[in-house]
Amino acid sequence: MVFKWPPLKNPFKLRVVIPSSNLGIYSTLREKTEFIGRIARASATFKIEELTILNDSPENTPIFIMVLRYLLTAPYLRKKLIPLTKELRYAGLLPPLSIVTHNPGNKELSLGDLREGLVKVSWGSKAKVFIGVRESCLTKSERRISPNERILVRIVNINPLRCREVRPSEIPEYTGFEVSSVDAKEIHKVLRGVVILTSKQGKELGKGLLRAIENDIAKKNEATFLFGNSFLDFDEIFASSMRKENKQSNIDVDYKINSIPGQGVLTVRTDEALTATLAIFNFYFQARGRSKGKT
Dihedral sign from CA coordinates of 3, 205, 249, 64: negative
Q: Where are the alpha helices (DSSP H) in 11-168?
A: 29-45, 61-72, 75-81
* Res. 295 pLDDT band, cuts 50 70 90: very low
* pLDDT > 80? residue 28: yes
The region of weakest confidence among 129-133, 251-255, 279-283, 284-288 is 284-288
- Taking only the tens place, the pLDDT of each residue in 143-181 is 999 999 999 999 999 999 999 999 999 999 999 999 999
* pLDDT > 80? residue 217: yes
What are the residue ranges spanned by the domains of the chain?
13-95+177-289, 100-170
* Res. 38 pLDDT band, cuts 50 70 90: very high
The CA distance from 98 to 85, in Å, is: 23
**Average pLDDT in the 47-55 region?**
97
* Res. 262 pLDDT band, cuts 50 70 90: confident
Name the class of domain 100-170.
Answer: mainly beta
* Res. 292 pLDDT band, cuts 50 70 90: low
pLDDT recorded at residue 251: 86
pLDDT recorded at residue 202: 92
**Average pLDDT in the 253-265 region?**
92
Give percent above pLDDT 90 in the chain: 81
Residue with more model confidence, 193 or 244: 193
- Taking only the tens place, the pLDDT of each residue in 89-122 is 999 999 999 999 999 988 899 999 999 999 999 9
**Average pLDDT in the 241-261 region?**
84
How many Cβ atoms sit within 10 Å of the Cβ of residue 252? Answer: 8
pLDDT recorded at residue 132: 93
- The beta-carbon contacts of 153-160 under 8 Å, at least 24 apart in sequence, are 153/114, 153/115, 153/116, 153/117, 153/129, 154/112, 154/113, 154/114, 154/115, 155/109, 155/110, 155/111, 155/112, 155/113, 155/114, 155/115, 156/111, 157/111, 158/109, 158/110, 158/111, 160/135
Name the class of domain 13-95+177-289.
Answer: alpha beta
